Amino acid sequence: MKLAAEMIGCSREAIRKRAEKSNAIQDTIHEERAAIIDVAESALYNRVLDGDMRAIEFTLRTIGKDRGYVEKRQEEITGKDGTPIEITVKRVD
C-alpha cells in the first residue's frame, strides 16, 4: 500500500481506512497481493529449475509435505540436570 499511497499522495492509513468501506478497493488489494505471490512463485520455480538447493529444500518442506518431505522433530524430556523423570501410574477401580 506504500506505493499506492505515494502515487496518489496520501498515507497508507488513509488507504486502509478507505478500503474498510469499499469492497472494490479490498478486491483490488487482494488481486495485487495475489499477483505478487504469482511473481514470487514463478521466481521460486525458476530457482528450483536452476538447481538452487535452498529453493528446492524450501519447496519440498512447504508444498512437498504430502509426498513425505516433512521435517520430523524428536525431543527428549528429562528431569532437572538431565536426570530421568519418574512416572507413577495409579489404577483407580
pLDDT tens figures, 36-69: 999 999 999 999 999 999 999 999 999 998 888 8
In angstroms, what CA-CA distances link 2 with 7, 26, 31, 74? 9, 15, 16, 43
The DSSP code sequence of 24-40 is HHHHHHHHHHHHHHHHH
pLDDT of residue 44: 97
pLDDT of residue 1: 76
In angstroms, what CA-CA distances link 26 with 9, 64, 66, 93? 19, 32, 33, 61
pLDDT of residue 66: 86
Predicted model pTM: 0.59
CA distance 63 to 58: 8
